[in-house]
């Protein structure tokens, strides 16, 4: 070959750079379709690995350099400890050990983000070696070019990634890299020599001209309209109401609060971006609005016409009556830059708001409870404010006894259903509540129906109803898989089909406590972080004389509303009868002819005489004090060791009576024990999410496997007697770790 070393180096560099930019087209879509938040870091690491491979350093140098780059990236993204400290190595060790167990269990989706990023960086490392061999040593670009074109076109067709310019870039880079590679091979094969440098590069002119001409023709020539329907709206139709600007037919949205709920269905992408911090006594629902009209596809607000300006000192909107017991409290909300609701977020019983910025006007939607925040004539998000509220507590018996007629206005507005609602929805509702004689137990029966009939909470693979399908009917009878919108909408429709007023409510769950506290207005409040992932919908059922009461049908979520049982009121007797008994008692005390009274007095005198004859009676109390002390000591020992002997009790029952009841009791006991070990299941956590947290703490897969058995039992009513030995073993392993 007569190419000079300068020519060789030029062609190698040009081919390698073209190949690198082709490889970048594989990484660009990840930020959109894979929810990568740091794609630029992977770009930089890929470029670093490609450079090290190209300059062909000895592996003794190149391997440590690439490894150090990987370590610094992982440390910067995921580890807060000082690099290479003992705690730093502990975190790395725990992560690797846990993820190896996950891989061995073939639970790939359980791998931690840190470990997945580490694997991806290792992949980039290996690709730098492979592509260097393809591009420079073997000089075979065609296969990689074809794979890149196929990848870009498939991603453009079947995802939300817009690949128009990616296809153009790929075509141009493919022409450049193939042309350079072919020319380079021909020069080596034919041993063509160049008299001057200019002669060796003049052939680039026709190559550049051909590329520019082809791009121009391809871009400007007429094209056929799409011959097939676009698959993206069906494949990736996210929760239309999730996130700002969500809507039917729109792009895939992350989970979050949104206003458009006219077409529900489809999955969504999880998002744990913090939205606001709440300083409150305990977890609760953070309400924003309700909607009244079910269309068969989603929810619309037809009561939104009535609005009124309200004073910050009196928000006016009430969901319950004065008969409900309340407790005065306050809460402070601090919103992040990610919050863009332009609405007031408030707890049940919100009474007044303080610390509003100047020129802020509050406008209440009288029926829905939506409160717009307006500043200088335009809607805006208020960054922080203090709310005074009366936290409601609903008494069980009062709810069960609320049997008066619903107001006509409530009945007309909140029993609406579309005319084409399938009849089997109403038939199912009638079967669910037929054995209950009051509205509260009927509501709990609907909640129990979802828990015991195979319904599954999922944010992925949630189907979108066809044009001729009803959203609730599809969920209840076909898929039985969905998230809060599916469960809450279905409960409202089931109730309305039986003439019971109910409405669909949106807002946020309580969030997750940070473990800190703040004192506000002399009140110690817990700090909760609420993220986009806490966006939620639930149900309010109307009770005469009580008002609107929240219920929670979604699997894996708990009702943040306070309910209580007034035992004293249930046992109270008639005051007149008590007065008669008191008078009778006094008469007995004063009646000298009462033989029983005389006998009692004589007995008392006899006891006094015996006491005097026996000397000091205090000596007879010593055994009593000793016995009492021993009893108290025994009670204390039993109390402080209660989890151990309760664990032994449940273990014995599991082994001797392996059935559904004993397994369910043992699992609930395990949850209570884990809560005492600072592993409390949060209100927004599903059992699967919680099991991952437990396994991360104890570096095992036991909780996840045990939870799988429990879900089969709870949702599908399945229990395999042959596997009860394995279930008992998993339970015992977790109990031992929790008690240690």
Q: What is the pLDDT of residues 78-99, one digit of tens each?
A: 787 788 888 888 888 888 888 8
pLDDT band of 605, cuts 50, 70, 90? very low
Give SS3 for 247: coil
Q: Say if residue 286 is in the same domain as residue 216.
A: no
Count Cα neighbours of 156 within 13 Å in the Cβ-side half-sphere: 15
The SS3 of residue 538 is strand
Number of domains the chain is built from: 3
Q: State the Cα–Cα distance between residues 499 and 497, nearest whole angstrom.
A: 6
Count of other CB atoms within 10 angstroms of residue 160: 17
Residues 415-432 have a mean pLDDT of 94
Residue whose tokens read 């990610």: 338
Helix axes 622-640, 642-656, angle to 10 degrees: 60
pLDDT tens digit string along 356-372? 888 889 999 888 899 98
Beta strands in 301-406 (DSSP E): 307-310, 325-335, 350-354, 360-365, 371-375, 378-379, 384-395
How many Å is the Cα radius of gyration of the chain? 35
343 and 212 both lie in a single domain: no
* Prediction pTM value: 0.50
DSSP 3-state assignment of 525? strand
Q: Is residue 665 part of a domain?
A: yes
Q: Is the pLDDT of residue 593 over 80?
A: no
Residue whose token pair is 């050990």: 97
Asked if the model's pLDDT at residue 416 lies above 90, the reply is: yes
State how far Cα 617 lies from the chain centre: 67
Distance from C-alpha of 505 to C-alpha of 287, rounded to nearest angstrom: 7
In a domain, 574, yes or no: no
- Tell the residue number behind the tokens 């458009």, with chain if given: 260
| pLDDT on residue 237 | 44
> CA 500, CA 534: separation in Å to the nearest integer?
28
| pLDDT score, position 490 | 96
Q: Is the domain of 194 the same as that of 301?
A: no
Domain-located, residue 264:
no
Given a cut of 60, is residue 24 above it in pLDDT?
yes
Q: Find the helix packing angle between 86-104 and 113-132, rounded to 10°.
A: 80
Q: What are 549-589's pLDDT values in tens digits?
A: 999 999 888 888 988 877 555 444 444 444 444 444 444 44
SS3 for 271-318 is: CCCEEEEEEECCCCCEEEEEECEECCCCEECCCCCCEEEEECCECCCC
Give the confidence band of 388 by pLDDT, cuts at 50, 70, 90. Answer: very high
Span of 71-80, 189-198, 495-504 with lowest mean pLDDT: 189-198
**Cα separation values, 4 from 133, 192, 198, 280, Å:** 21, 11, 13, 75
3-class DSSP assignment, residue 432: helix
Give backbone dihedrals phi and psi of 553, rounded to 5 degrees, phi first: -90, -15
Question: Which tokens sit at 693?
Answer: 């947290």
Confidence class for position 684, pLDDT limits 50, 70, 90: low
Closest CA to 650 of 642, 698, 709, 267: 642
Residue 72 has pLDDT above 80, yes or no: yes
419 and 343 in a single domain? The answer is: yes
pLDDT of residue 35: 54
Say yes or no: 463 and 553 in one domain.
yes
Q: What is the mean pLDDT of residues 673-677?
A: 83
- Confidence grade of residue 304 (pLDDT, cut at 50, 70, 90): low
291, 355 Cβ separation under 8 angstroms: no
Total residues found in the chain within this entry: 740
- If you average pLDDT over residues 477-501, what whole number do you get? 93
Q: pLDDT category, 513, cuts 50, 70, 90?
A: confident
Q: Which residues pair with 482 in a beta bridge?
A: 457
Of 203, 220, 237, the residue at which a domain comes to its end is 220
CB atoms within 10 A of CB 621: 10
How far apart are alpha carbons 397 and 378 in whole angstroms? 46
Angstrom distance (rounded) from CA 204 to CA 1: 20
Mean per-residue pLDDT, 57-70: 90
Question: Are 216 and 325 in the same domain?
Answer: no
End-to-end distance of the chain based on CA atoms, in angstroms?
74
Q: Count CB atoms within 10 A of the CB of residue 526.
A: 17
Above 70 in pLDDT, residue 375?
A: yes
* C-beta of residue 414 within 8 angstroms of C-beta of residue 542: yes
In a domain, 251, yes or no: no
Are 285 and 177 found together in one domain?
no
Token digits for 304? Answer: 């939104």
Query: What b-and-e string marks burial along 654-670, b requiring 16 or more CB atoms within 10 Å of the CB?
Result: beeebeeebbeebbebb
Q: Which of 528, 563, 598 is the last residue in one of the domains?
A: 563
CA distance 464 to 415: 25
Residue where the block lists tokens 């000793």: 626
125 belongs to a structural domain: yes
pLDDT greater at residue 478 or residue 258: 478
Interval 130-152: pLDDT, tens: 888 887 777 777 888 889 889 88
Do 216 and 280 lie in a common domain? no
Let me know if 730 is exposed, middle or buried by CB neighbors in 10 A (0-12, 13-18, 19+).
buried
> Model confidence over 225-275: pLDDT tens digits?
665 655 555 454 443 333 333 333 333 445 677 777 888 887 777 778 889
With beta carbons less than 8 A apart as the criterion, state whether 443 and 496 touch.
no
Q: What is the pLDDT of residue 485?
A: 92
**DSSP tally for the chain: helices H, then strands E:** 26, 19
Q: The tokens of 413 are what? A: 């507005």
Report residue 603's pLDDT band, with 50, 70 and 90 as the boundaries.
Answer: very low
Q: List, in order, residues 6 or more apart from 532 with CB less than 8 Å away.
A: 243, 254, 255, 256, 257, 271, 272, 273, 275, 338
Give, in order, the Cα–Cα distances in Å from 278 to each of 41, 224, 244, 334, 387. Answer: 33, 54, 21, 7, 11
Tell me which of 522 and 472 has the higher pLDDT: 472
Last residue of a domain, one of 220, 244, 267: 220
Q: Tell me the two tokens of residue 691.
A: 């099991």
- Using CB atoms within 10 Å of the CB of residue 736, give its burial: 0 to 12 exposed, 13 to 18 middle, 19+ buried: exposed
Q: What whole-number distance in Å separates Cα of residue 181 and Cα of residue 175?
A: 10
- Domain containing 691 equals 640-739
pLDDT mean across residues, the chain: 79
Percent of the chain surpassing pLDDT 90: 24
The residues facing 311 across adjacent strands are 314
Q: How confident is the model at residue 187 (pLDDT cuts 50, 70, 90)?
A: low
For residue 172, is it within any domain? yes
The answer to whether residues 385 and 467 belong to one domain is: yes
Cα–Cα distance, 650 to 673 (Å, whole number):
12
Structure tokens at 526: 């817990």
The predicted-structure confidence for 147-178, as pLDDT tens digits, reads as follows: 988 988 888 887 767 777 888 888 888 888 78
Looking at the structure, tell me whether residues 165 and 36 fall in a common domain: yes
pLDDT of residue 607: 42
Residue with tokens 């009638």: 430
70 in the same domain as 198: yes
Residues 14, 149: one domain? Answer: yes
Among 136-140, 310-314, 406-410, 599-603, whose mean pLDDT is lowest?
599-603
247 is a domain residue: no
Spatial neighbors of 127 by CB under 8 A, at least 6 apart, are 23, 46, 49
pLDDT winner (highest mean) among 51-55, 472-476, 522-526: 472-476
- Domain-located, residue 573: no
């Amino acid at each position: 070959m007569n190419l000079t070393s300068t020519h060789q180096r030029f062609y190698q560099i040009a081919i390698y750079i073209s190949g690198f930019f082709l490889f970048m087209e594989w990484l660009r879509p990840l930020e959109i379709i894979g929810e990568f938040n740091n794609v630029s870091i992977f770009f930089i690491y890929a470029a670093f690995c490609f450079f090290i491979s190209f300059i062909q350093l000895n592996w003794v140098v190149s391997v440590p350099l690439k490894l150090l780059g990987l370590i610094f990236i992982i440390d910067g993204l995921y580890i807060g400890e000082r690099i290479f400290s003992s705690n730093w190595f502990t975190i790395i060790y725990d992560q690797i050990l846990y993820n190896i167990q996950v891989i061995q269990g073939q639970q790939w989706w359980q791998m931690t983000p840190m470990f997945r990023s580490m694997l991806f960086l290792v992949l980039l490392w290996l690709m730098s070696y492979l592509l260097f061999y393809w591009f420079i040593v073997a000089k075979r670009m065609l296969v990689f070019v074809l794979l890149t074109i196929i990848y870009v076109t498939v991603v453009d067709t079947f995802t939300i990634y817009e690949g128009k310019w990616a296809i153009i870039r790929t075509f141009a880079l493919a022409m450049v890299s193939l042309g350079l590679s072919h020319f380079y091979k021909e020069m080596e094969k034919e041993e063509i020599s160049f008299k001057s440098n200019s002669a060796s590069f003049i052939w680039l002119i026709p190559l550049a001209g051909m590329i520019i001409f082809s791009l121009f023709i391809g871009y400007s020539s007429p094209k056929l309209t799409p011959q097939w329907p676009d698959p993206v709206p069906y494949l990736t139709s996210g929760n239309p109401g999730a996130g700002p600007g969500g809507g039917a037919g729109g792009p895939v949205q992350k989970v979050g609060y949104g206003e458009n709920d006219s077409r529900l269905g489809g999955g969504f992408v999880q998002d744990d971006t913090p939205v606001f911090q709440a300083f409150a006594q305990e977890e609760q629902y953070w309400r924003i609005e309700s909607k009244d009209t079910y269309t068969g596809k989603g929810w619309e607000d037809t009561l939104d016409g009535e609005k009124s300006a309200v004073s910050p000192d009196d928000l006016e909107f009430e969901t319950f009556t004065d008969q409900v017991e309340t407790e005065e409290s306050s809460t402070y909300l601090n919103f992040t830059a990610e919050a863009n609701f332009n609405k007031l977020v408030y707890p049940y019983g919100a009474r007044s708001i303080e610390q509003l910025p100047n020129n802020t006007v509050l406008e209440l939607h009288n029926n829905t409870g939506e409160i717009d925040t307006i500043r200088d004539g335009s809607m805006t998000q208020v960054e922080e404010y203090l709310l005074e509220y009366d936290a409601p507590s609903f008494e069980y018996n009062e709810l069960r006894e609320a049997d008066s007629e619903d107001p006509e206005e409530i009945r007309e507005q909140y029993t609406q259903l579309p005319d084409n609602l399938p009849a089997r929805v109403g038939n199912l509702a009638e079967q669910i509540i037929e054995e209950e004689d009051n509205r509260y137990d009927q509501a709990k029966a609907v909640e129990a129906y979802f828990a015991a009939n195979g319904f599954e909470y999922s944010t992925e693979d949630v189907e979108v109803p066809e044009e001729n399908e009803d959203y609730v009917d599809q969920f209840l009878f076909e898929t039985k898989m969905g998230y809060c919108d599916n469960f809450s909408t279905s409960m409202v429709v089931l109730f309305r089909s039986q003439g019971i007023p109910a409405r669909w409510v949106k807002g946020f769950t309580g969030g997750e406590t940070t473990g800190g506290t703040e004192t506000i207005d002399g009140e110690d409040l817990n700090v909760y972080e609420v993220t986009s992932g806490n966006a939620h919908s639930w149900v309010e059922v109307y009770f005469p004389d009580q008002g609107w009461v929240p219920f929670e049908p979604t699997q894996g979520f708990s009702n943040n509303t306070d309910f209580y049982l007034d035992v004293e009121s249930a046992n109270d007797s008639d005051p007149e009868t008590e007065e008669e008994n008191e008078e009778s008692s006094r008469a007995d005390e004063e009646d000298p002819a009462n033989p029983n009274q005389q006998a009692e007095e004589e007995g008392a005198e006899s006891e006094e005489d015996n006491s005097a004859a026996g000397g000091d009676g205090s000596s007879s109390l010593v055994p009593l004090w000793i016995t009492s002390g021993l009893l108290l000591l025994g009670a204390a020992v039993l109390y402080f060791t209660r989890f151990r002997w309760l664990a032994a009790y449940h273990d014995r029952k599991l082994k001797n009576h392996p059935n559904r009841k004993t397994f369910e009791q043992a699992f609930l006991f395990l949850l209570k024990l884990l809560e005492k070990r600072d592993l409390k299941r949060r209100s927004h956590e599903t059992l699967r999410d919680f099991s991952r947290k437990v396994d991360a703490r104890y570096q095992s897969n036991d909780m996840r496997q045990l939870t799988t058995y429990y879900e089969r039992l709870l949702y599908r009513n399945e229990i395999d007697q042959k596997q009860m030995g394995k279930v008992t073993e998993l339970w015992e392993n977790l109990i031992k770790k929790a008690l240690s």
